[in-house]
Amino acid sequence: MKVNQNLFLVFTCIFILAACGGGSGGGGSSTSSSSSSSASSSASSSASSSSSSASSSSSSGAIQPPVISMSGEMDWLENLEFSFLPSASGGSDLVWSLVSSPDMSFFAIDETSGEISASAFDFESPNDANADGRYELQIRVTDTNEQTAEASLIVTILNAAEYEAVTEFPPAGSDIGGVGDRFTIRGYLNNDGQRELIPGEEVQVIVNGVSATFTDDGTGTWLAEIPVGHTEVSATIEVQVAESVQHSTSLNFSNKPLANNYSIDASLAPQFYSLSLGANYVLSMNPDGSDPEVLIALEDLPVETQCPGFAQVRLSDDESQLFVKCQAAESEGTTILMHDLTNSTTEVFWLDISGISANNSGFAVINDSYFLMSVDDSSMALVNRDDGSYDSFVLQHATSTNLTASDLFVQGSKVYFYAFDNTEGRSFATFDIQAVIDSDTDVETVSTGFAFNYYLSNTFCNIEENMYFVSADILYIYNREENVLEDYVFLAEDFGAEGWSSISALTCDSTGVIVRDSLTDSIVKVNAADGLVTQLNASVTPSQYFRSTSLSLSPDNSQLFSYDFYRQNARKLNLDTFEFSESWDLSSIVDTAVNEQVSFSWENNSFYRHIVENWGGTPADETAHIQLIDLDALQNTPILTGNELQAHFGYVDAHYRIGEVVHTDNDNIIWFALVITFDGGAGGTEGVYALELDKGNITTLTETLYGGGEQIDDPYLSPFYTGLNGVILTEWNNGYVSILNKEGDIEELVAPWTPYYVTYASQFDVNRNVIYFNGFERYEDANALDPSTTQLVKFDLDDNSRSTLASWEIGNGVDFGYMQFVLDTERQYLYADNNYRLLVIDIYSGDRVLVTPN
């Protein structure tokens, strides 16, 4: 309970009373009683009462009994040690004591001075005899003649402001990941158990010496940006009232560099060299499970190095030097760092070559004398390390339409790299680099003729005539001399790990292949003779990593549902403990789809999923394009087939690709996105449609017809929001943001191409009337994405203003471009998955942390 009193006046009154040697701390009348130690003295005193004190004392020799001067009642603030000094007449050798009374046990009295003291009282938890917060006390004073006086005192405890700092962000035990040297902590104040919305001017929150700033949104939220080192972080959070510390607490989290699971590692068995999350460190990783060692820090490089971030790492042929390719600099060209692993020195090379500055361009070291760089999809450059001169040459290939040289593997004079052909799919091609060195001519590449899964890990190693690489979760062996390809080890099955499709590094010694799995940070060795797998380090167990292609938050914000179509599983994560509470293996009832998101119902513990077998869609047949997955029964129920789509739309020789499916506020109606392409590339349609479940009726909400050659893509649908009476629409090829309601009306918020080439996942904050979405631009005058423009955007519906909440620069180096995220309106978080951990983004500061489930 709060009391509207001016604390300054209360403390002033108490100070004045103590200085005067007594008096009332509150209301009440003066009370005092006196008595003699015997009947005779009492009678004598009574007999002389009619005389003046002076004449009576001098004539009869009688001594007056003591008199206590004080108020009978006083007030005292809780949480302060009690101290009160009464006064009494009757000489200087008075003895003070307490008389048996209801609350005597809480007080002590100094028998010489009469000072009464007690420990601090708690207003919220009174423990006096009748539990009313009024402590009753009887005081006695005795003079040298054994004459006494008594007085009653009632101390009423008043409520005081009790501030407590509550931290809302980051979650305790989370990790920044070694990205950034400053971080924002967010929280609020509790005052007497209630959230303080407008703290007084005398109240301050201090975090590691930094004064927090209170927001102006009336929620009492405070923010404090503090410097952090790249290690464990301990933040002391103090509440100061009138410059006096009233409450103190601590928060522990980490800022340890983490290996970036999306970078390509260099390896020297069993050591691995990797880029960090945020690409600001080059790390040396040991198989013993210890923290990575920082070899090169971006912050330590001179500005003239022109290295905005690291892109790739490679080992020299003699394994004594580590070469690091920098990201694109402001000017054309790129920087190469040569780090000597023996003496830890770093040398800088600037390559002034137009076209090679793309972050994902291939890079290799040839005979420790040349750098080989991929320039574009059809050409490369060979750079002389001694003088920086280079020669460009064209790769000529008979069948491949796109030579994806994002990774280069050199064995002897042979260069291997991936090639993509529209007919065969991915394969790898090879050419002789010595021919380029000798004659400086264009070269003819030779394809192996093997087609692979598109999702390759871009890593190779070699043992004698055999070359090893990974496609999906299979380790392949390729005999270079005989051009024979074999399945070697099915890692997911033989090692017992879920989804080894994230192999970030391979290295070979004379006896086998050593693999780093970025999903679990496991390092294992596959024996070349028998294929047996041995783990070399202590890894994160498969149950602890967080990987999701679709997320849903429970209505009470206590749990997070995650679905992973790659691994065909679903899980629920408790957001208070960060523990997985439930898990389902769905491999027996669902097949693998492409780019699949699902719409989960917390009430029915089920979700709708759409089927995308390939990007071209599928012709009409009995395939269930929409399915209902019941997690309780582990049952898959078909909802809408290709033939039913064709029966409604009536297109002949058409391909259908279902997009996202969402629940609505009507249990009998779902919405779905759909792209229809006409055979032969003659155009098609894209739109959003409503399906009436009990009757199977399809109603068009919005639809666009395209001619041949135009880009067609299904809109992305947000969850259905009652406050919007519909969903938020975003789209890949047009980059717009709109609201679509149940009547089919569209409200355009962000027009196409202004400025986003792609807009993606979107969420609505009903409390703030704000929409969050992913947006990123494209390279100027090119139909390609510009990763540096990736943003997590905040759109305020009240004033139609748009601002960047987080980006690569704001929010500690996270690529937000392809993230599926959900909004926690209670904690003011956005959740996504990143680096196989739960990514938690603060919507106030844009800062983010990673949480590993317990």
Check whether 785 has a pLDDT greater than 80.
Answer: no
Assessment of whether the complete model's pTM goes beyond 0.85? no
Confidence (pLDDT) at 788: 63
What is the structure's pLDDT at 330? 57
Per-residue pLDDT, 688: 97
* Residues 6+ away with beta carbon under 8 Å from 703: 685, 686, 687, 688, 689
**What pLDDT does 324 receive?**
92
How do residues 168-190 score in pLDDT, each as one tens digit?
Answer: 999 999 999 888 889 999 999 99
At 176, give phi and psi (nearest 5°).
-70, -30
pLDDT given at position 440: 67
258 has a pLDDT exceeding 50: yes
pLDDT at residue number 623: 86
Q: Which tokens is 532 given?
A: 């047996």
Say if residue 423's pLDDT is above 60.
Answer: no
**Tell me, what amino acid is at 154?**
I
pLDDT at 554 over 70: yes
Residue with tokens 């060795």: 525
In whole angstroms, how far apart are CA 371 and each of 264, 266, 357, 384, 388? 17, 16, 14, 7, 9
Q: According to the model, what pLDDT value does residue 4 have?
A: 38
Does residue 350 contact residue 333 with C-beta atoms inside 8 Å?
yes
Digit-coded pLDDT (tens) for 115-145: 999 999 999 899 999 999 999 999 999 998 8
> pLDDT-based confidence at 36, cuts 50/70/90?
very low
SS3 768: coil
How far is the C-alpha of 196 from the C-alpha of 468, rounded, in Å? Answer: 62
Asked if residue 755 has a cis previous peptide bond (ω within 30° of 0), the answer is yes
What residue type is 765 in one-letter code? D
SS3 802: strand
Calculate mean pLDDT across residues 354-365: 67
Per-residue pLDDT at 333 exceeds 90: no
Residue 291 pLDDT: 81
593 pLDDT above the threshold of 50:
yes
pLDDT for the residue 494: 46
pLDDT in tens, 798-827: 999 999 998 877 665 566 667 889 999 999
3-state class of 223 per DSSP? strand
pLDDT at 315: 86
Predicted confidence (pLDDT) at residue 402 exceeds the cutoff of 80: no
Show Cβ contacts of residue 524 under 8 Å, excluding neighbours closer than 6 positions.
Answer: 495, 514, 515, 517, 533, 534, 535, 536
Amino acid identity for residue 138 in this structure: Q
Confidence grade of residue 540 (pLDDT, cut at 50, 70, 90): low
Question: 57-66, 99-108, 729-738, 778-787: which has the minimum mean pLDDT?
Answer: 778-787
Q: What angle do CA 45, 49, 51 make, to 5 degrees?
A: 125
Q: When comparing pLDDT for 112 and 442, which is higher? A: 112
How would you classify the pairing of strands 73-77 and 148-158? parallel
Count of Cβ atoms closer than 10 Å to residue 69 Cβ: 15
Residue 222 is inside which H or E element, if any?
strand 222-227
Helix (H) or strand (E) holding 113, with range, is: none
pLDDT grade, residue 417 (50/70/90)? confident
Using only C-alpha atoms, what is the Rg of the chain?
A: 38
Strands 746-750 vs 737-741: parallel, antiparallel or unpaired: antiparallel
Specify the DSSP element, H or E, that contains 46: helix 39-47
Average pLDDT over residues 396-425: 67
Collapsing DSSP to helix, strand or coil, 450 comes out as coil
Q: Who wins on pLDDT, 203 or 45?
A: 203
Which pLDDT score, from 0 to 100, does residue 31 have? 39
pLDDT value for 327: 81
What is the mean predicted confidence (pLDDT) over 443-458? 61
**Above 80 in pLDDT, residue 92?**
no
Which of 520-529, 800-809, 827-836 holds the top average pLDDT? 827-836
pLDDT exceeds cutoff 70 at 674: yes
More confident residue, 380 or 847: 847
CB distance 263 to 279 below 8 Å? yes
Q: Say what percent of the chain tops pLDDT 70.
A: 79
DSSP for 254-274 reads E----B-TTSPPEEETTEEEE
Lowest mean pLDDT among 24-38, 463-477, 505-519: 24-38
Pairing of strands 182-191, 222-227: antiparallel
C-alpha neighbours within 13 Å on the C-beta side of residue 126: 17
CA distance 737 to 751: 7
Secondary structure element (H or E) that encloses residue 10, with its range: helix 7-19
Output the pLDDT for position 655.
87
Calculate mean pLDDT across residues 189-208. 91
The single residue listed with the structure tokens 């914000």 is 557
| Residue 435 confidence class, pLDDT cut points 50, 70, 90 | confident
- pLDDT score for 290: 77
Supply φ then ψ for residue 66, to 5 degrees. Answer: -70, 155
**461/475 Cα distance (integer angstroms):** 11
Across the range 504-533, mean pLDDT stands at: 78
pLDDT at position 619 is: 83
The whole-number pLDDT of residue 360 equals 58
640 or 568, which is more confident = 640
The token pair that represents 99 in the structure block? 């008389």
Q: What token pair was written down for 778?
A: 């494209």
pLDDT of residue 93: 87
Query: Is residue 672 predicted with pLDDT exceeding 80?
Result: yes
Q: What pLDDT score was predicted for residue 539? A: 61
Q: How many Å separate Cα 540 from the centre of its chain?
A: 19
State which H helix or E strand residue 306 sits in: none
Nearest to 489 by CA among 525, 537, 450, 451: 525
**Predicted pLDDT of residue 616:** 63
Q: Is 333 in contact with 356 (CB distance < 8 Å)?
A: yes
* Cα 841 from Cα 824, distance rounded (Å): 10
Averaged pLDDT, 582-596: 83
Q: Which of 41, 150, 176, 30 is nearest to 94 (CA)?
A: 150
CA–CA gap between residue 765 and residue 233 (Å, rounded): 31
Q: Averaged over 109-120, what is the pLDDT?
A: 95
pLDDT at 436: 87
pLDDT of 238 strictly over 90: yes
Q: Using a CB cutoff of 8 Å and minimum separation of 24, what contacts does 388-393 make? A: 388/349, 388/350, 388/351, 388/352, 390/351, 390/353, 391/436, 391/440, 393/436, 393/440, 393/441, 393/442, 393/443
Mean pLDDT of the chain: 81
Least confident of 4-8, 148-152, 539-543: 4-8
- Band of residue 689 on the pLDDT scale cut at 50, 70, 90: very high
Q: Which two tokens stand for residue 275?
A: 């880029």
Burial class (CB in 10 A: 0-12, 13-18, 19+), 465: exposed
Per-residue pLDDT, 621: 87
